[in-house]
């Protein structure tokens, strides 16, 4: 498994989150919808398939430590907790950047650019994604 494969996985998950986020109203009153608004079963199934495929491919690789946050993200997505789905994916990006910094993995210029784009896409989903919060979510 290569870093590009990991980023392909993240790209698929982020795509699902962006599609789901686009369908949510700007303000959801918890008194009206206490359990959140759940994504469509097809979207959950696709999200689960992406995570499952990754888990199968990452066994015995340097990326197997990413399984737990991906499962956390899936579990949150299944019940309609968008923000709880985003945080584990940001943690995966943090982990990849740490692995890169510690020279545990090699990442090409294109993949480095993708990491930045994915972080920006996830940050846009979070509330308060204002310019003054640039860099929020970076755990490094």
How far is it, in rounded angstroms, from Cα 38 to Cα 99? 34
Number of structural domains the chain divides into: 1
Domain that holds residue 94: 3-126
What pLDDT digit, counting tens, does each position of 66-77 carry? 999 999 999 999
Asked if residue 140 is part of any domain, the answer here is: no
Asked if residue 139 is part of any domain, the answer here is: no
Asked if residue 60 is part of any domain, the answer here is: yes
Residue 129, class by beta-carbon neighbours within 10 Å (0-12 exposed, 13-18 middle, 19+ buried)? middle
pLDDT tier for residue 82 given thresholds of 50, 70 and 90? confident
What pLDDT digit, counting tens, does each position of 9-48 carry? 999 999 999 998 888 766 554 454 445 578 999 999 999 9
What is this structure's pTM? 0.81
């Amino acid at each position: 498994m290569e870093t590009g494969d990991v980023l392909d996985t993240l790209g698929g998950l982020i795509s699902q989150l962006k599609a789901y986020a686009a369908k949510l109203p700007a303000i959801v009153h918890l008194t009206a919808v206490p359990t959140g608004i759940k994504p469509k079963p097809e979207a959950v199934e696709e999200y689960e398939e992406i995570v499952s495929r990754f888990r199968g491919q990452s066994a015995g690789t340097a990326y197997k430590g990413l399984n737990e946050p991906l499962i956390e993200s899936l579990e949150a997505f299944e019940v309609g907790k968008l923000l709880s789905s985003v945080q584990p994916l940001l943690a995966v990006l943090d982990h990849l950047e740490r692995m890169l910094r510690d020279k545990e993995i090699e990442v090409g210029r294109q993949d480095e650019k993708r990491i930045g784009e994915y972080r920006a896409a996830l940050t846009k989903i979070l509330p308060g994604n204002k310019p003054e919060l640039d860099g929020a979510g970076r755990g490094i």
